[in-house]
């Protein structure tokens, strides 16, 4: 198999691709126990360009055992909070120093535009590691003056401690591979946990580079382990493992439910970040051009493969034609290309499966009577073979159509007119999901009245897909359980212990 060769790849990336790619278990680089491998495919061409180990249940056992040893003995449990802070800061510095290489690997592996990978994915990872490093020294309990009826004659003193939850199993998706790794790794390592990370089979590469940099940063052997492999083998073995204390999962609602049930069987702590069908709500006072640009960014960023993608656009009927025309114009003018080309605005979807799934949804929309105001077809780019889909705007939909109800996870938005706020609030909430929403208006009173009515973990006003490390992130309803980022994430990676002392 020839390593991928392209004029846009730096020497650092070439060197990474030329090294053998192995999993990191207990500080050692290793192959899968059974010698299995899986192909890594360039979604811009459909060609395999390298392989990684296909770890399975036995590899997960070894990684969990290594993480357990590191959690209970050796240097890691002796580290002071300030030592964990310093390590995470060093890790962040190494990510920053290798930002371009990581962005290129992400672009090759996932297909996303390299400029976005650098300015969004890698930049957010560096900031998040530094943000969480600061929390390592700020994990605290409380003291209580307790009153117990039967012990009136004794003086009592109560306090709580926050302790690391233990060994963490993290299972992450392919849409933001490095960023989703960081969302699990940073709070786990800041809190003193150890972990096993299972990246998605479609995009295993940046997790392996991440592991090299963690080792270089100086994490003791076994603190951070990476097992590459398939979901139904390595992923399932990790989710149901009796040797871990917590599972952190990001991915589809379907698999999230399986992971949640497997975790509950062992009473493993679990947090789930799942799918979405997020509404973009344009009120009648919004500037149509700004709303169209905002709606385009909300759905086409990362080829629409974003859990918070603004995939249902509701525009007040007085502005509907103008906004849809603007959005369709933007969609038609976007430059498709391989992610690794800095001129690309829209890359391929991650896999042939994903391309077929998205095209199947578009077809089902046509069959049920919808019409494409823009796009609606696969796109041929370069020599062909890549998993491209045109940025697509569907109109003439009904609320019961599959394209309106189900998560498409591609560059496809359904645009729908509405008449009044009560109606749009009801329709925006008429979904099993509740991850995010955006409202476009400068009418403060109406915006404030709408915000509490929207059942979603995040509501944006006059922006979409904007994340901040300090803001908790997660879903209502079937979009998940738990909140990542912000102070809230510490609750997911620590246990609270209550201590009562009779003095
Ligand atoms: P998926 O949910 O199957 O994959 C996510 C992760 O779960 C991967 O690491 C995978 O290896 C792992 N996994 C798969 N089966 C597992 C199992 N039985 N036990 C434990 N881990 C398992 O997502 P998939 O199949 O790649 O995409 C299907 C659809 O899911 C997409 O079209 C999209 O609608 C949605 N999705 C949503 C994401 C989000 O961030 N909300 C991310 C990825 C997919
Ligand atoms: Mg799957």
Q: How far is the CA of 173 from the centre of ligand 1 (A)?
A: 6
Please enumerate in sequence order all residues whose Cβ is within 8 A of that of 173, keeping only pairs 6 or more positions apart, or say none.
180, 200, 250, 251, 252
Characterize the bridge pairing of strands 246-250 and 156-164.
unpaired
Question: Do 377 and 490 fall into the same domain?
Answer: no
Residue owning the nearest CA to atom 28 of ligand 1? 252
Q: Is 12 part of any domain?
A: no
Question: Which ligand has the shortest distance to the CA of 254?
Answer: 1
Number of H helices, E strands in the chain: 17, 22
Residues 228 and 283 in one domain: no
pLDDT of amino acid 38: 98
b/e map of 223-250 (b: 16 or more CB within 10 Å)?
Answer: bbbbbbbbbebbbbbbbbbebbbbbbbb
Q: What is the pLDDT of residue 152?
A: 87
Q: Does residue 335 lie within any of the structural domains?
A: yes
Residues 488, 465: one domain? no
> Are 294 and 247 within one domain?
no
pLDDT digits (tens, 9 = 90+) for 434-463: 999 999 999 999 999 999 999 999 999 999
Mutate to test the pocket of ligand 1, among 255, 258, 435 (most ligand atoms within 8 A of CB): 255
DSSP state of 245: S
In this structure, the number of other CB atoms found within 10 A of the CB of residue 30 comes to 16
User: Nearest bound ligand to CA 235?
Assistant: 1
- Write the pLDDT tens digit of every residue in 157-195: 999 999 999 999 999 999 999 999 999 999 999 999 999
Per DSSP bridges, beta strands 37-42 and 269-273 are unpaired
Residues 254 and 299 grouped into a single domain: no
- The CA 46 to ligand 2 mean position distance, Å, reads 19
- Ligand 1 atom nearest the C-alpha of 350 is 26
Residues 339 and 438 reside in one and the same domain: yes
Q: How confident is the model at residue 45 (pLDDT cuts 50, 70, 90)?
A: very high
Nearest to 29 by CA among 212, 177, 197, 201: 212
Which ranges in 136-222 belong to alpha helices (H)? 177-191, 205-217
- CA–centroid distance, residue 173 to ligand 2 (Å): 9
Q: Going by CA atoms, what residue is nearest to atom 35 of ligand 1? A: 252
Confidence of residue 6 (pLDDT cuts 50, 70, 90): confident
The mean pLDDT value for 71-91 works out to: 98
Residue nearest to atom 38 of ligand 1 (CA): 251
Full residue range of the structural domain in which residue 151 is found: 56-78+140-274+480-499
**Residue 1: its pLDDT value, please?**
42
Cβ(11)–Cβ(206) under 8 Å?
no
384 falls within a domain:
yes
Counting ligands in written order, which one lies closest to the CA of residue 251?
1
Shortest-distance ligand to the CA of residue 232: 1
**CATH number of the domain that residue 444 is part of:** 3.40.309.10
Helix (H, G, I), strand (E, B) or coil at 52: strand
Which ligand number lies closest to the CA of residue 228?
Answer: 1
- Write the CA distances from 342 to 116, 242, 337, 404, integer angstroms: 9, 45, 9, 33
Q: What percent of the chain has pLDDT over 70?
A: 99
**Residue 206: inside a domain:** yes
- The confidence score (pLDDT) of residue 4 equals 52
Q: Tell me, in angstroms, the distance from the centre of ligand 2 to residue 198's CA.
A: 14
Residues catalogued as catalytic: 273, 307
Ligand 1 mutation target, pool 183, 252, 465, most atoms within 8 A of CB: 252
Ligand 1, closest atom to CA 173? 5
Residue 68 has pLDDT above 90, yes or no: yes
Cβ 464 vs Cβ 479: under 8 Å:
no
pLDDT of residue 5: 55
Work out the average pLDDT over 266-291. 98
What is the position in ligand 1's atom list of the atom closest to the CA of 238? 20
CB atoms within 10 A of CB 147: 9
Q: Is 343 within 8 Å of 335 (Cβ atoms)? A: yes
In a domain, 118, yes or no: no
- The model's pLDDT over 455-500, given as tens digits with 9 standing for 90+, comes to 999 999 999 999 999 999 999 999 999 999 999 999 999 999 999 9
**Ligand found nearest the CA of 202:** 1
* pLDDT tens column, 7-43: 889 999 999 999 999 999 999 999 999 999 999 999 9
Q: Where are the alpha helices (DSSP H) in 228-319?
A: 236-239, 253-265, 288-300
Cα of 274 from ligand 1 centre, angstroms? 9
Find all residues with CB under 8 Å of 286, minimum gap 6, and list them: 319, 440, 441, 442
CATH number of the domain that residue 239 is part of: 3.40.605.10
Residue 256 Cα to ligand 1 middle (Å)? 8
Structure tokens at 17: 């691709």
Separation of 237 CA from ligand 1 center, angstroms? 15
Helix (H, G, I), strand (E, B) or coil at 408: coil
Both tokens assigned to 44:
């811009």
Pick the residue whose CA is nearest to atom 42 on ligand 1: 251
The predicted pLDDT at position 7 comes to: 80
Work out which ligand 1 atom sits closest to the CA atom of 180.
40
**Among candidates 12, 6, 109, 121, which has minimal Cα distance to 52?**
109
Nearest CA owner, ligand 1 atom 21? 235
Provide the pLDDT for residue 19: 94
The residue nearest atom 19 of ligand 1, judged by CA position, is: 236
DSSP state of 3: P
Ligand 1 binding pocket (C-beta < 6 A) is 171-175, 198, 200-201, 230-232, 235-236, 239, 250-252, 255, 258-259, 274-275, 307, 354, 357, 407, 409
Model confidence at 2, in pLDDT bands (50, 70, 90)? very low
Nearest atom in ligand 1 to 275's CA: 41
Q: Report the pLDDT value the prediction gives residue 388, as an integer from 0 to 100.
A: 98
Shortest-distance Cα residue to atom 18 of ligand 1: 232
**Mean pLDDT of the chain, nearest integer:** 97
Residue in the block written with tokens 């940025």: 391
Please indicate, yes or no, if residue 34 is contained in any of the structural domains: no
Q: Is 371 found in the same domain as 245? A: no
Percentage above 90 pLDDT, the chain? 96
Q: 365 with 239, same domain?
A: no
How far apart (Å, rounded) are the C-alpha atoms in residues 363 and 369? 10
How remote is the CA of residue 449 from the centroid of ligand 1, in Å? 35
The pLDDT-based confidence of 209 (bands split at 50, 70, 90) is very high
Q: Is the dihedral of CA 270, 273, 274, 276 positive or negative?
A: positive
When pLDDT is averaged across residues 403-415 and rounded to a whole number, the result is 98
- Please tell me whether residues 361 and 409 are part of one structural domain: yes
- Look at ligand 1, atom 15, and give the residue with the nearest C-alpha: 231
Dihedral (CA of 437, 292, 447, 415) sign: negative
User: Could you identify the atom of ligand 1 that is nearest to the CA of residue 256?
Assistant: 2
Judge if 270 and 286 occupy the same domain. Answer: no
Please name which of 384, 342, 337, 383 lies closest in space to residue 8, comparing C-alpha atoms: 342
pLDDT bracket for residue 151 (50, 70, 90):
confident
Total structural domains within the chain: 2
Give the number of the atom of ligand 1 that is nearest the alpha carbon of residue 479.
Answer: 41
| Residue to probe by mutation, ligand 1, list 173, 278, 389, 403, most atoms within 8 Å of CB | 173
- Express each pLDDT in 331-377 by its tens digit: 999 999 999 999 999 999 999 999 999 999 999 999 999 999 999 99
Q: What are the b/e assignments for 454-481, b being 16+ CB within 10 Å?
A: bbbbbbbbeebbebebeebbbbbbbbbb
The pTM score is 0.98
Rounded to the nearest angstrom, the distance between the alpha carbon of 251 and the centre of ligand 2 is 8
Mean pLDDT is lowest, of 63-67, 145-149, 311-315, 391-395, for 145-149
pLDDT given for residue 3 in this prediction: 43
310 and 331 belong to one structural domain: yes
In a domain, 342, yes or no: yes
Tell me how far the alpha carbon of residue 255 lies from the centroid of ligand 2, in angstroms.
Answer: 7
**223 within domain boundaries:** yes
Same domain, 321 and 375: yes
């Amino acid at each position: 198999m020839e390593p991928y060769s392209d004029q846009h790849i730096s020497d650092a990336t070439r060197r990474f691709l030329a090294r053998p790619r192995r999993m990191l278990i207990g500080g050692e680089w290793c192959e899968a126990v059974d010698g299995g491998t899986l192909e890594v495919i360039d979604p811009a061409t459909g060609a395999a360009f390298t392989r990684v180990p296909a770890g399975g249940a036995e590899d997960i056992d070894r990684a969990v055992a290594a993480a357990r040893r590191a959690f209970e003995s050796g240097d890691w449990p002796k580290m002071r909070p300030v030592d964990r802070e310093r390590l995470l800061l060093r890790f962040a510095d190494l990510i920053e120093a290798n930002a371009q290489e990581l962005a290129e690997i992400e672009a090759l592996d996932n297909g996303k535009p390299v400029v976005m990978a650098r300015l969004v994915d890698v930049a957010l990872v560096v900031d998040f590691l530094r943000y969480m490093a600061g929390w390592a020294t700020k994990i605290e309990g409380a003291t209580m003056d307790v009153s117990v009826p039967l012990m009136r004659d004794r003086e009592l003193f109560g306090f709580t401690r926050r302790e690391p939850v233990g060994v963490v199993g993290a299972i992450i998706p392919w849409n933001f591979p490095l960023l989703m790794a960081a969302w699990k790794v940073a709070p786990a390592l800041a809190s003193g946990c150890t972990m096993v990370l299972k990246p998605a089979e479609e995009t295993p590469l940046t997790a392996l580079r991440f592991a090299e940099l963690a080792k270089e940063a100086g994490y003791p052997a076994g603190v951070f382990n990476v097992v590459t492999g398939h979901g139904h083998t390595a992923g399932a073995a990790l989710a149901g493992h009796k040797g871990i204390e917590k599972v952190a999962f990001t991915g589809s609602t379907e698999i999230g439910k399986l992971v949640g049930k497997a975790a509950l069987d062992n009473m493993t702590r679990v947090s789930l970040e799942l799918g979405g069908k997020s509404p973009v709500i344009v009120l009648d006072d919004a500037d149509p051009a700004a709303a169209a640009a905002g709606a385009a960014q909300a759905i086409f960023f990362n080829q629409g493969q974003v859990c918070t993608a603004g995939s249902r656009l509701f525009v007040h009927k007085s502005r509907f034609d103008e906004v849809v025309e603007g959005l369709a114009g933007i969609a038609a003018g976007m430059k498709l290309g391989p992610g690794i080309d800095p001129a690309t605005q829209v890359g391929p979807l991650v896999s042939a499966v994903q391309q077929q799934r998205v095209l199947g949804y578009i077809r089902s929309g046509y069959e049920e009577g919808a019409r494409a105001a823009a796009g609606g077809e696969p796109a041929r780019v370069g020599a062909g073979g890549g998993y491209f889909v045109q940025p697509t705007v569907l109109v003439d939909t009904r609320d019961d159509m599959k394209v309106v109800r189900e998560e498409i996870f591609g560059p496809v938005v359904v645009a729908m007119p509405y008449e009044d706020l009560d109606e749009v609030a009801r329709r925006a909430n008429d979904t099993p999901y509740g991850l995010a929403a955006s409202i476009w208006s400068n009418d403060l009173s109406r915006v404030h009245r709408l915000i509490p009515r929207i059942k979603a973990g995040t509501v944006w006003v006059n922006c979409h897909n904007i994340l901040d490390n300090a803001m908790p992130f997660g879903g209502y309803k079937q979009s998940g359980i738990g909140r990542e980022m912000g102070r809230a994430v510490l609750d997911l990676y620590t246990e609270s212990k209550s201590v009562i002392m009779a003095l």
